Amino acid sequence: VSLVGAGPGDPDLLTVRAHDRLRAATLVLHDGLVPEAVVDVARSAERVSVARRAGPKTLSQDVVIDLMVDAAWRGERVVRLKGGDPFVFGRGGEEMQGLSAAGVPFEVVPGLSSALAAPALAGIPVTHRGAASGFVVLSGHAPEAYAPLLGTITPRSVTVVVLMGIGERRAIARCLLEAGWPGETPAAIVVNASRPRQRVWVGRVNTLGINDDFGARDDPGVIVVGDVVACASAADILRAGMGEEQIWQPTTIQGH
């Protein structure tokens, strides 16, 4: 079994190894969020979606592990394909432990996490001399997890990246403001990075909650907060691969 990271969504952003594993697979068990274009790289494999976005059709973790284990013992070449990197908020660790407990040989093929790829595709460096000497990556799903951490970080000392946080962007902004981050700290939201409906919003912490038009709530989105956002001028964002129509409010940030 290969635990494979699918990257942010464009099949060109698969690793060469991930591409090879998909081509050679006989069974692909993929998350619902992985785009068809990526899943279909595995032309000759049976392709099964095992986790829908949210809702009653999601299979439990145990069922997914059982599917992998059974298929492996049947002699299938199994790829477990997860969005981004399998070990970044992907429960890849639990699946690895399940395979391990069942004695199934496996490998991990890391993928591009959108925590880094989404800002990069918008021309935003997560570290930058004088702006951020490190970064923190959190999930927006659970305020009880991110709130205490954001409360302890010296404002603007590092870049904060929040995955799956679009729905919680107001709570995240409030949390940062309460922790002493200035309202004018630059912030960006990258939606559908590397995918057809890719868009980026650029603003500030105190306007993070204002814009309501982020497309479908289920679209993958990455929030980036910190002075690094101001490193990317509107022109940089355009050059880095975004179309002009994909940028909201780029003029609110002073470029250099």
Site for a second copy in 111-150 (CB under 8 A): 111-113, 116-117, 119-121, 123-129, 131, 133-139, 142, 145-146, 148-149
Stretch that binds a second copy, among 49-57, 66-74, 88-96, 218-226 (CB under 8 A): 88-96
Check binding of 240 to a second copy (CB under 8 A).
yes
Nearest in space to 134 (alpha carbons), one of 108, 156, 109? 156
Give the residue with the Cβ less far from a second copy, 121 or 176: 121
Residues contacting 14, CB < 8 A, separation 6+: 6, 7, 22, 38, 41, 111
Residues contacting 18, CB < 8 A, separation 6+: 4, 5, 6, 7, 109, 111
* DSSP structural state of residue 209: T
Give the residue with the Cβ less far from a second copy, 129 or 213: 129
Give the residue with the Cβ less far from a second copy, 205 or 231: 231
Measured from the CB of residue 72, what is the shortest distance to a second copy in angstroms? 12
Stretch that binds a second copy, among 154-162, 169-177, 216-224, 244-252 (CB under 8 A): 154-162
Residue 146: in which H helix or E strand, if any? helix 143-152
Measured from the CB of residue 81, what is the shortest distance to a second copy in angstroms? 15
Residues counted in the chain: 256
Give the residue with the Cβ less far from a second copy, 148 or 211: 148
The burial class, CB within 10 Å (0-12 / 13-18 / 19+), for 251 is exposed
Give the residue with the Cβ less far from a second copy, 48 or 153: 153
Q: Mask: binding to a second copy, 9-48, rule CB under 8 A, as x and -?
A: -xxxxxxxx-xx----------------------------
Stretch that binds a second copy, among 49-57, 68-76, 165-173, 235-243 (CB under 8 A): 235-243
Give the residue with the Cβ less far from a second copy, 46 or 178: 178
Give the residue with the Cβ less far from a second copy, 143 or 209: 143
Measured from the CB of residue 213, what is the shortest distance to a second copy in angstroms? 25
Angle at 229 between CA 208 and CA 33, to 5 degrees: 65
Q: Which residues of 139-178 are buried (b: 16+ CB within 10 A; e: fewer)?
A: ebeeeeebbeebeeeebbebbbbbbbbbebbeebbbbbbe
Q: Is residue 13 within 8 Å of residue 110, measured between CB atoms?
A: no
Q: Where are the alpha helices (DSSP H) in 75-122?
A: 92-101, 114-121
Among residue numbers 174 through 233, which ones bind a second copy (CB under 8 A)? 228, 231-233
